[in-house]
Amino acid sequence: PAAGTDPDTLARTAAAELTTALGDGHDVAVVMGSGWAPAADAFGAAEGAVAIGDLPGFAAPTAVGHGGQVRSVRVGERRVLLFLGRTHLYEGRGVEPVVHGIRTAAAAGVRTVVLTNAAGGLAPEHRVGQAVLVSDHLNLTARSPLVGATFVDLTDLYSARLRELAREIEPDLTEGVYAALPGPHYETPAEIRMLRTLGADLVGMSTALEAIAARAAGLEVLGLSMVTNAAAGITGEKLDHEEVLAAGKAAAGRLGRFLVEFTGRLP
């Protein structure tokens, strides 16, 4: 497609190629964040896969540890699109590539999106490897994926009934407010204190813009963070991207099994 193609047209073009490659009738898209790629393997053998970079409007993701694939898997009666790898705002390509996967999944007909991410934990009781449901977000990127007079309501953006469904599977899952920052640097301890004051429980560099785009496209959203580290200044430890990825890997199998169960139970 020509440069300057509007985002919805580009998403429809990508969705057409996606369904040519993987078939149609997908119910749900699961976006795998940093460190979650091993969780994708819990879904078992894919019925098909495409390289993300081969679809219109996508570029191969750049961050270390991010796969670059869309897989089609089946869980019971549900057809699931697994997005391994996402585009982040910090890659410098602007907002549209960040939400293109969501718009493509919506154009391909999914009704639900599960946004996973790796996050720093702000609460002292957060443990590395713990999964936390996103109850709401603070979008501190100063950006929106929407342009023009689209005054989309974001009340209950992270679906209460999907959080309830998640807790039917894992009753101990806690919830938290996710603060989305542009990155790519980690926060300063002072910024983390500020975020706590603002009501954040988790901090990361994704998810919020995708959730907004999903709501605008009429999708129901579940957000799930994996705490990969205590946020800056909480323990005094330095933050290391490799350690963040390693923590993700260690917890990924368990979280993958949760995601399989969750997608299989979707209404």
Which of the residues are catalytic? Answer: 34, 66, 88, 90-91, 118, 205-206, 229, 241
Among 7, 68, 97, 120, binds ligand HPA (CB under 6 A): 120
User: Which residues in the 201-220 window bind ligand HPA by CB under 6 A?
Assistant: 203-205
| Cβ neighbours for 90, distance < 8 A, ≥ 6 positions apart | 182, 183, 184, 205
Contacts of 225 (CB under 8 A, 6+ apart): 116, 117, 118, 119, 131, 132, 133, 134, 176, 178, 202, 204, 207
Q: Does 82 bind ligand HPA (CB under 6 A)?
A: no
Instruction: Give the nearer residue to ligand HPA in terms of CB position, either 15 or 205.
Output: 205
Give CA–CA dist 267/255, Å, rounded: 20
* Minimum distance, C-beta of residue 137 to ligand HPA, in the bound complex (Å): 13
Cβ atoms of residues 231 and 38 within 8 Å: no
Look at residues 126, 55, 121 and name the one whose alpha carbon lies nearest to residue 84. Answer: 55
DSSP assigned state of 195: H
HSE value, Cβ hemisphere, 13 Å, CA-based, for 145:
26
Tell which residue, 243, 197, 70, 212, has the closest CA to residue 150: 212
Any contact of residue 191 with ligand HPA (CB under 6 A)? no
Q: Cβ of residue 99: shortest distance to ligand HPA, in angstroms? A: 18
119 binds ligand HPA (CB under 6 A): yes
Residue 11 binds ligand HPA, judged by CB under 6 A: no
- Structure tokens, 69: 């694939």
What is the nearest approach in angstroms of ligand HPA to the Cβ of residue 225? 9
Q: Which residue is nearest to ligand HPA (CB)?
A: 120
Binding mask 218-247 for ligand HPA (x = CB under 6 A): ----------xx-x-------x----x---
- To ligand HPA, the closest distance from the beta carbon of 258 in angstroms equals 19
Identity (one letter) of the amino acid at 86?
A: R
The CB-of-244 to ligand HPA minimum distance in angstroms stands at: 5
Number of H helices, E strands in the chain: 7, 9
Pick 75 or 232: Cβ nearer ligand HPA: 232
Name the residues that contact ligand HPA, by CB under 6 A: 118-120, 186-187, 203-205, 228-229, 231, 239, 244
